[in-house]
Structure formats: C-alpha cells, structure tokens
Amino acid sequence: MGSSSKVILVGATSLIVGVYAISLKKAEVDGVQAAMKNVKRVQNERIEDAAMRTSLSSFVKDNGKLNKKGTQKALDGSTFSYNISKIKHTDNYLLTLTIARDGVEKTITGQLSEATGDVSQGARKIHRGKWQVTKSFTSR
C-alpha cells in the first residue's frame, strides 16, 4: 500500500469516527433536553397542586360554606390568587386560581365537593377534611 493510500485510509477512518462522535453528542443533548422538559412539566404540576391545596385549606379553615378570595405565595416564591364561589343550584363550589410564572399566566379551575363517604386518597387527590377537588382544568 502506498503512502497516499495510507493517508486516505487514515483520513476516512478519522472522518467516520468524528461523525459518529458528533452523532453521540447530539443524542446526549437531545436526551438532556427531553429530561429537562419533563422536570419543568412536573414542577409546574406540583406548584399548581400546592396552590389548590393552599386555597382549599383556607376555604375549609373558614368552615367551608362561604365564598372566599385571596392572594398567597406559591412554592417557587411567586404569588397566586384564588376565588372560591358557590355554584348555583348545587352544593358544590368553583375554585378559580390564577398563577403567573415565567411571564405566562395560567388559570386553573376546579370543582370543590363535600364528600359524603370516604375521601379519595392518593398523591394527586386534593382534599382537606371532607372537602375535595373533584374536577380540575388548566388553561393558559
């Protein structure tokens, strides 16, 4: 094999290894970006859940039969405002939360119901005493 053939072989091998290394790096970056998006989504969900729990606790503390509104601090240091009002012709209440984070304002609405039997338990089940959030919806 001549010296020019060896140079071409080494050059081609280096090119293949370089392209492979760049592809691995891009796959790593894509994986990290996907993980960060998931972390941010879960953090937002937990902040929204905590805001609903705080609002519900405030409502229950005042015996759970009066319309209520207020502003509180969220877990991340921002503030949220809430309004709880009775839904006409039912025993349920409407919880409306407004959270502003990262320049985006979200509105979360939920229905508060007083449980007649056992309250549903679980990590994402929001309840305080016999009162529970039975439905919720987040909009931007």
Nearest one of 60, 40, 55 to 128, comparing CA atoms: 60
Q: What CA–CA distances, in Å, run from 34 to 4, 11, 28, 29, 66?
A: 45, 35, 10, 9, 44
Per-residue pLDDT of the chain (140 residues; tens, 9 = 90+): 667 788 788 888 888 888 888 888 888 888 899 999 999 889 888 888 889 999 999 888 887 777 888 888 887 878 899 999 999 998 889 999 999 887 888 999 999 988 887 777 777 788 888 888 888 888 87
Contact at 8 Å (CB) between 107 and 96?
Answer: yes
Q: Give the model's pLDDT for residue 102.
A: 77
Task: Enumerate the domain spans of the chain.
Answer: 35-139
Query: Two tokens at 84?
Result: 């709880």
Q: Please state, in angstroms and rounded to a whole number, the distance separating the CA atoms of residues 15 and 4.
A: 16
